[in-house]
Chain A
Amino acid sequence: MSIEVRGITKRFGDFVALDDFNVLLPSGQLTALLGPSGGGKSTLLRIIAGLDRADAGSVSIEGVDATGLPAQKRDVGFVFQHYAVFKHLTVAKNVAFGLEIRAHGGLRPPWAAQRRADRARIDRRVAELLELVHLSQFADRLPSQLSGGQRQRMALARALAVEPKVLLLDEPFGALDAKVRKELREWLRRLHDEVHVTTVFVTHDQEEALEVADEIVVINDGRVEQIGTPDRLYDEPANDFVMGFLGDVTRVNGQLVRPHDIDISRVPLLAGAVEGTVARLLRVGFEVRATVLTDDGEEVLVQLTRTHARAVGLEEGVTVWLTPVTGAATVPALPSMRSAG
């Protein structure tokens, strides 16, 4: 039981958004589709939801082939980057929308028993959901009276109301400011631990993916670069692209390595250490960034804590020796390194 995407190809004119794309997203997990803008991740999400149609390939959701199904029959909850709130409906009515559509008594007169029973059930469920997203006191407001973060929480409650088989979020926090974004992603993680619905979210923010997801699918140029847990992706990147996209990289001795994974000392302690001169020191809060020009002509960025830098005795102009720390993730640098943007 899961989302299975097989051989999906999607073109927009000459642009190939997805090229024979295959991925299996396991049930009950929180999966991030991570990649640069225009890499095809949003297109994939919209194809899974049935909002876009693939040129070729198939999608099955929890064992049901959904390739030919329209969006309203796929049983997926979708959360949009710009909330897509129903502007003319109150918060409670927004959340109730999916339930009202599904209610059996919808076409019966207001006094029919079935309809009254539905109404009571929907009201109860809406109250529960508003409680879950901490919007109970805003039930009778219009969306225009809510902040961005509140609107997105409302949109999430609306999507969860119909108890979808999967929840899809397209850059859900992309339109929010940095602080709210951070709060909401922690909240999403906790929410997922409570409701356990299979959740897939699209993001281009590696920190967001690393922090929230159980599993990350790195997508670039319409293809999967790597799939794995956040730890695995960070520690064992499959290639230079994944390494570059998940964090800062620098180049020492023909190897790509993370700037905080470099051992710096003023005496040659280890064999194979690279000799260089500190060209620039920059302090940002607790962190010191040293730019070292090696004798081979490489410009290496080293990150270390302020305490560490002081202990080593780093100053501009001093000679230092650099070695990647043991166990650091390294990837051979290709002659033409692909863009990590």
Chain B
Amino acid sequence: MVELSTPVRWGLRLLAIGYVFFLIAWPVGLVVKHTFTGGLGVLADTLTDESVAGALRLTAMVATWAVLINLVFGVTISVLLVRYEFPGKRVLSALIDLPLSVSPVVVGLALLLVYNGRTGWFGPTAEGAGLTVIFDSPGMVMATCFVALPLVIREVVPVLVEIGDDQEQAARSLGAGAVQTFRRITLPSIKWAVVYGVVLSLARSLGEFGAVKIVSGNITGRTQTATLLVEAKYQNFQQETAYATSFLLILVSIACLVVVAFLRPRAAR
């Protein structure tokens, strides 16, 4: 390591701490402070508020579905990308990164174009079959899936590459079929990467705002998720409720981070 002189070292530390403090710690701290300015009562009132409870339930439901779907497809696509050669593999790999670079609002609009019930490319057909996508939960789950898609894959792919296919080949030569090999050999080897990916996806899914706002229609009590509710309450001069709901979202994120922090050393082993 390069030796730095004492003033430079302190200067760098101050810069890093100052940056994180003014950008993250202070604003988040203020949200927490505002939540508790009126004592624990505001938090209790918020939790008993039917619209808030409904929004939290909806968020949990949408996030759970999105994470489950991304888990199944994410692991499948990862195995496909690492273990098999097929035409269009590089295009697929590039497309998977797209949600990271495209604004969620654009994602929402794109889904709207395809699935809306009146003029969408596929929407009228789906509605004819009794499935409302836009302004309903399927659309919100889809939007959330889209934005959180790369997280599981980007965790699992490097681990799959690193472990190689030696163990899988050995399992095959010992008589295991594809499913047995995956369940007994591949899955245990990638399980921490999968858990890590799931936690990240969950955090991302709970916090999704832009894409969900467009496809949900933001109907209070029906398609309003927690993040949408925070915005609505804030604009309705119900700041206390907005702060309290934000505090709950922060709490879940911190829980996710704690889980990740506990998992990371195990995954490294």
Q: Interface residues, chain A, CB within 8 Å of chain B? A: 49-51, 70-74, 76-78, 80, 82-88, 97-98, 101-102, 155, 158-159, 161-162
- Across the interface, which residues of B come within 8 angstroms of A87, CB to CB? 163, 167, 189
Q: Interface residues, chain B, CB within 8 Å of chain A? A: 163, 166-167, 169-177, 180, 184-185, 188-189
Q: Which residue of A lies closest to B169 (CB)?
A: A51
B185 and A98 within 8 A (CB): no
**Residue with the highest number of chain B CB atoms closer than 10 Å, among A77, A98, A162:** A98
Distance in Å from the Cβ of A154 to the closest Cβ of chain B?
A: 11
A80 and B188 within 8 A (CB): no
A71 and B189 within 8 A (CB): no
Q: A86-B185, A87-B189, A101-B180 are in contact. Are A77 and B173 (CB under 8 A)?
A: yes
B175 and A101 within 8 A (CB): yes
Q: List 11 A-B contacts (CB under 8 A).
A: A70-B172, A71-B173, A74-B173, A76-B173, A84-B166, A84-B167, A86-B171, A87-B163, A97-B174, A97-B176, A98-B175
CA distance A215 to B160 in the complex (A): 39
Q: Which residue of A lies closest to B177 (CB)?
A: A72
Distance in Å from the Cβ of A332 to the closest Cβ of chain B?
A: 44
- Across the interface, which residues of A come within 8 angstroms of B171, CB to CB? 86, 97
- Across the interface, which residues of A come within 8 angstroms of B185, CB to CB? 86
- Across the interface, which residues of A come within 8 angstroms of B174, CB to CB? 72, 77, 97-98, 101, 158-159, 161-162
- Across the interface, which residues of A come within 8 angstroms of B169, CB to CB? 51, 71, 78, 80, 84
Distance in Å from the Cβ of B170 to the closest Cβ of chain A?
A: 4
User: What does DSSP make chain B's interface, helix, strand, loop or mixed?
Assistant: helix
Distance in Å from the Cβ of B184 to the closest Cβ of chain A?
A: 8
CA distance A88 to B183 in the complex (A): 13
CA distance A97 to B185 in the complex (A): 10
Distance in Å from the Cβ of A146 to the closest Cβ of chain B?
A: 15
- Across the interface, which residues of A come within 8 angstroms of B175, CB to CB? 72-73, 98, 101-102, 162
B173 and A159 within 8 A (CB): yes
- Across the interface, which residues of A come within 8 angstroms of B184, CB to CB? 97
Contact of B167 among A78, A85, A101, A159 (CB under 8 A): A85
Q: A72-B177, A87-B189, A101-B180 are in contact. Are A82 and B166 (CB under 8 A)?
A: yes
The 7 closest A-B pairs by CB, nearest first: A98-B174, A84-B166, A78-B173, A84-B170, A71-B172, A88-B188, A101-B175
Distance in Å from the Cβ of B157 to the closest Cβ of chain A?
A: 19
CA distance A155 to B173 in the complex (A): 12
CA distance A221 to B180 in the complex (A): 37
Q: Which residue of B lies closest to A77 (CB)?
A: B173
B167 and A86 within 8 A (CB): yes
Distance in Å from the Cβ of B113 to the closest Cβ of chain A?
A: 43
A86 and B173 within 8 A (CB): no
- Across the interface, which residues of B come within 8 angstroms of A158, CB to CB? 170, 174
- Across the interface, which residues of B come within 8 angstroms of A84, CB to CB? 166-167, 169-170
CA distance A161 to B176 in the complex (A): 14
Q: Which residue of B lies closest to A161 (CB)?
A: B174
Distance in Å from the Cβ of A311 to the closest Cβ of chain B?
A: 54
B189 and A88 within 8 A (CB): yes
A72 and B166 within 8 A (CB): no
Q: Which residue of B lies closest to A158 (CB)?
A: B174
- Across the interface, which residues of B come within 8 angstroms of A80, CB to CB? 166, 169-170
Distance in Å from the Cβ of A220 to the closest Cβ of chain B?
A: 26
- Across the interface, which residues of B come within 8 angstroms of A70, CB to CB? 172
Distance in Å from the Cβ of B18 to the closest Cβ of chain A?
A: 43
CA distance A88 to B175 in the complex (A): 19
Distance in Å from the Cβ of B16 to the closest Cβ of chain A?
A: 37
List 11 additional A-B contacts (Cβ < 8 Å) besides A80-B169, A86-B185. A49-B173, A78-B173, A80-B166, A80-B170, A82-B166, A84-B167, A85-B167, A86-B171, A101-B176, A102-B175, A158-B174
Distance in Å from the Cβ of A136 to the closest Cβ of chain B?
A: 21
CA distance A224 to B51 in the complex (A): 79
- Across the interface, which residues of A come within 8 angstroms of B167, CB to CB? 84-87
**Residue with the highest number of chain B CB atoms closer than 10 Å, among A51, A70, A71:** A71
CA distance A51 to B177 in the complex (A): 13
- Across the interface, which residues of A come within 8 angstroms of B177, CB to CB? 72
- Across the interface, which residues of A come within 8 angstroms of B189, CB to CB? 87-88
CA distance A154 to B176 in the complex (A): 18
Distance in Å from the Cβ of B77 to the closest Cβ of chain A?
A: 23
A78 and B176 within 8 A (CB): no
CA distance A155 to B176 in the complex (A): 16
CA distance A269 to B189 in the complex (A): 71
